[in-house]
Structure 1
Amino acid sequence: MTTPTKPSELDAVAALYGNRFITQEVPSREFPDTGMTAVDAMRLVAEDLVIEGDPARNLATFVTTWMEPEAQRIIAENLHRNFIDHAEYPRTAEIEQRCIRMLADLFHAPGPTTGARTQGSSEAIMLGALSLKWNWRTRRQREGGSVERPNLVFGGDVHVVWEKFCRYFDVEPRIVPLQPGKYTIGPDDVAAHVDENTIGVAAVLGTTFTGHKDDVVGINNLLVQLKQERGLDVPLHIDGASGGFVWPFLYPDSPWDFRLEQVRSINVSGHKFGLVYPGIGWLVFRETADLAPDLVFEENYLGKTDSTFTLNFSTGSSMVLAQYYNFVRFGRQGYSYIMRNMEENARMLGDELEKMGRFELIDRYEEQLPLVAFRLTGEQDFDEFDLAWQLSAERGWMVPAYTLPPDAQDVTIMRALVKETMSREHVDTLARDIEEACRTLDAKGGAHESERAKIVTGPGH
């Protein structure tokens, strides 16, 4: 029996028995001269992804990793629709507006308002902060003041996009540093930084570091006082990227939204606790007047004039439709049920960690996202980075370890996010795996430095 050696014979045998890229190098540097069969292309990509991390064990990311089959069908059937083409797809545009109205209602907007869908909270924050800057400039010009040195006040617990905004759009960032044992900000931290050039204050609802919120009520009261005593009308923007879909259902009586006088705009990520796959975010204003009119473009596109207020233009319709699916599928009752389940499992995981006697839980009885933030206590021969590596290498769990922002940069913590698909059995398994990983590290004295270097140390988004 002879073995085929010609390329055409090898391709024929591969087509019959398997995949020719089992032994051949895949295209990775040069644009390929020829194509391949659809099956080969599918298998090439699929086999590359086999060695990716398991989303079900990724307890670092806040982004949704599972949706119902019915939602996935809606997504698949609408991938070919360009959301921006409102003339061709007017029902999708109407569904976007339904979602904005529903969010305005959820966030207690006092009356009719406006907003926009975005690719995520990063775009929503850019747009919201731009509106803060434009409205501040209009106020200053009306008052006869200088518009040369705008500033924006926020804490060190924010997402990096806030610093990006300041750099990209020439605004001075006035960043309130964190402190050991104090990982959010309040009115006393903000007061010294606010002046006539402050375009706004940003407060976080559910930080990526520990899952807690800034003292939104206290900051709002400070800004109300400044308006009454000094005539400074400084708006408050709420970065609800993670918490905007958590607090209304876990803590409905806790005010943080448009119930507070100075809250003028809110961003939220549909692809986090809104339970939609990536990329969908939302920006909602308290009143239509809070959207700076100069940022709105009237676009005559494909025979229909539309108002546009986004940084991106073409984008798919699928995630807007998936968000609306979730709203009508779950309603307040369903979202509350899901959030309570996640909260309960986070509580159980916290209980298990406390029983081990090795960990300090970070403010676990405060209002927070469904997660557990914790750090090692006492004398250990290993640290949080070692433990994160051991969990990943031995059991496949992605539980990040990271240092906090200044001036708490000497504090290292870990964070386990409890997702919708994480069952009580998964919680028990994770707790056992953490305990076993600690015993392994006790025996070997920590991870090797080269192994530790492989760990992703950021808080995850």
Structure 2
Amino acid sequence: MVISNTIESDSRALLDYTYASRYDRTDLPRFKIAEHPIPKEAAYQIINDELMLDANPRLDLASFVTTWMEPECDKLIMAAINKNYVDMYQYPVTTELQDRCVNMIANLFNAPLEDSKSAVGVGTIGSSEAIMLAGLAFKRRWQNKMRAASKPCDKPNIVAGANVQICWKKFANYFEVELKEVKLSEGYYVMDPKKAVEMVDENTICVAAILGSTLNGEFEDIKLLNDLLVAKNEQTRWDTPIHVDAASGGFIAPFLYPGLEWDFRLPLVKSINVSGHKYGLVYPGIGWVIWRSNEDLPEELIFEINYLGTKQRTFTLNFSKGSSQIIAQYYQLIRLGLKGYKRIMENCKVNAEHLKKGLENTQCFNIVSKDNGVPLVAFSLKNHSQHNEFQISNMLRGFGWSVPAYTMPPDAQRITVLRVVIREDFSRTLADQLVNDIVKVLQDLGILPSVPEENGVANTTQVAGVC
């Protein structure tokens, strides 16, 4: 009897062992829900094993979004993972933290506030939602003005560079606004302010300027755009405003280029969006949009509800959303302060310069990115006679790196580039290893000759001059 119980116990123990269960040799449902449940341990392990095939987020150099936060912030995120932010009555402290973030960011962007806590803005899922909200505010404000003047209001347009992120094209499509794009040219990969202002007409609801182009990280000249548009408004008696898409650069410019005028210091800048999950240093899922004043956000776009227990005002495209990222943003703002953010952005810039120098030493690449912008390095091959950037991108995946290759928009589509975004967690050591692996790829392609490594790192000075 004792022996039988022992055997039965051992059998159960074996079945409970993760890789001895039948679920590891059974096809699991992919497109239809299964009839029967499976143990939680098996479900976890099967999914966890499959996710191992995803790329390592830390090596995803294509992405601008944050891939590392301090463990203390991770704890706050997990503690709030089940809080629905929209329920402000139940979670008033979270609402208060959002309002604090809005005011901190508005002050960072030099908003002309009546007092330190009178900022107008809202947290969003990301800059895409923020841009939708800002665009709707511009469209409604323009429609109200045209109706008051008994003029047609059925053909609104936005002027922007061809380098705008896809969310602007989505806004134009979804909300029936014409997107008038300023074409790029080889060697000039951002919007030309002069050409932009020439395209402005009475139906232009705003000019969208980019503080940190996705293509090469460059800041557009928003000060010049403002000055040219002020002159045109005076001449035409229009009041065409500016929106600044600072998704990437909004948490960079105040710390690296504090004297640069791009924000609410310019009178025509009426709203700004920024991604908290990029250089705001928060995991994906948080953006912000800030308006210059209450009059720039039409009141009819704000809704009042009371079915969550109390009256509350809401202006978002999404309703239910998690509270975690809002709490994480507040953590970063108070944890780092101005000096902490400045130090991190300086580190990113220095490491970008170091990577750039390593690539230049190969003498195989033209650097397309600019020094005054987002800390990234965009580069293209000097010689395309036998190989291209897409081959290099694909081969780097064999080393674990995700480095995107892409063509520029019209009329610069002949140019193809590779781009490395330098985030907080991309150290000089990783920069050296990336250059080392790029050199190996160039050698495998026959672009560079093979030379001995020194301490595990390719000596790019020995292979220079071959490209």
Same fold (TM over 0.5): yes
Provide the residue aligned with 2:179 in structure 1. 173
Whether contact under 8 Å (1:381, 1:442) holds in the other structure is: no
Secondary structure, counterpart of 1:244 in structure 2? coil
Distance 2:237 2:37 in 1: 67
Matched AA of 1:439: Q
Provide the residue aligned with 1:4 in structure 2. none
| Aligned-residue offset at 1:278 | 1.0
1:403 has 2:407 as partner: yes
**Match of residue 372, structure 1, among 371, 377, 381:** 377
| Aligned-residue offset at 1:27 | 2.2
1:323-334 alignment, distance < 5 Å: 323-334=329-340
Higher mean alpha-carbon deviation, 136-145 vs 302-311, is at 136-145
TM-score, structure 2 normalization: 0.90
* Structure-2 change in CA distance of 1:14 and 1:180 (3 Å): farther
Matched AA of 2:161: G
Whether contact under 8 Å (1:403, 1:412) holds in the other structure is: yes
Residue deviations 1:272-298 (CA, integer Å, cap 9, x gap):
111111100100001111111110001
Whether contact under 8 Å (1:382, 1:442) holds in the other structure is: no
Distance 1:189 1:129 in 2: 21
| Aligned-residue offset at 1:380 | 4.7
Provide the residue aligned with 1:156 in structure 2. 162
| Aligned-residue offset at 1:12 | 6.9
1:271-350 alignment, distance < 5 Å: 271-350=277-356
| Aligned-residue offset at 1:192 | 2.2
Provide the residue aligned with 1:140 in structure 2. 146
**Match of residue 382, structure 1, among 376, 384, 387:** 387
Distance 1:337 1:17 in 2: 45
Matched AA of 1:128: A
**Match of residue 215, structure 1, among 206, 210, 221:** 221
Distance 1:441 1:272 in 2: 34
Matched AA of 1:256: W
| Aligned-residue offset at 1:26 | 2.6
Provide the residue aligned with 1:418 in structure 2. 422
Distance 2:204 2:406 in 1: 31
Whether contact under 8 Å (1:211, 1:369) holds in the other structure is: yes
Distance 1:14 1:274 in 2: 47
Residue deviations 1:3-54 (CA, integer Å, cap 9, x gap):
xxxxxx9997442362544332232122111112221111111101111101
1:188 has 2:190 as partner: no
* Structure-2 change in CA distance of 1:26 and 1:216 (3 Å): same
Secondary structure, counterpart of 1:304 in structure 2? coil
**Match of residue 392, structure 1, among 383, 389, 397:** 397
Matched AA of 1:387: I
Residue deviations 1:182-234 (CA, integer Å, cap 9, x gap):
10012211122111111000000101110002221111111111222211101
Matched AA of 2:85: F
Distance 2:61 2:369 in 1: 19
Distance 1:241 1:20 in 2: 48
Provide the residue aligned with 2:87 in structure 1. 85
Q: Which runs of 5+ in 2 are unaligned?
A: 1-9, 450-467
Residue deviations 1:247-286 (CA, integer Å, cap 9, x gap):
1111111110001110000001111111111100100001
Whether contact under 8 Å (1:381, 1:441) holds in the other structure is: no
Distance 2:122 2:33 in 1: 38
* Structure-2 change in CA distance of 1:362 and 1:16 (3 Å): closer
Higher mean alpha-carbon deviation, 234-243 vs 173-182, is at 173-182
Q: Which runs of 5+ in 1 are unaligned?
A: 1-8, 446-461
Distance 1:131 1:161 in 2: 16
| Aligned-residue offset at 1:109 | 0.2
**Match of residue 71, structure 1, among 64, 70, 73:** 73
Whether contact under 8 Å (1:121, 1:268) holds in the other structure is: yes
| Aligned-residue offset at 1:444 | 11
**Match of residue 133, structure 2, among 127, 131, 139:** 127
1:258 has 2:264 as partner: yes
Provide the residue aligned with 1:351 in structure 2. 357
Whether contact under 8 Å (2:280, 2:329) holds in the other structure is: yes
Provide the residue aligned with 2:17 in structure 1. 16
Higher mean alpha-carbon deviation, 136-145 vs 310-319, is at 136-145
Whether contact under 8 Å (1:158, 1:207) holds in the other structure is: yes
Residue deviations 1:108-163 (CA, integer Å, cap 9, x gap):
00113311110000000000000000001111122222212111111111111111
Matched AA of 2:66: T
**Match of residue 439, structure 1, among 429, 440, 443:** 443
**Match of residue 100, structure 2, among 92, 98, 103:** 98
* Structure-2 change in CA distance of 1:138 and 1:237 (3 Å): same
TM-score, structure 1 normalization: 0.92
Matched AA of 1:213: F
Whether contact under 8 Å (1:206, 1:242) holds in the other structure is: yes
What is the percent sequence identity of the aligned residues? 43
Count of residues in Structure 1 that have an aligned counterpart in Structure 2: 435
Residue deviations 1:302-322 (CA, integer Å, cap 9, x gap):
221111000000011110000
Distance 1:443 1:305 in 2: 66
Whether contact under 8 Å (1:153, 1:198) holds in the other structure is: yes
Residue deviations 1:52-85 (CA, integer Å, cap 9, x gap):
1011111000111111100000000001111000
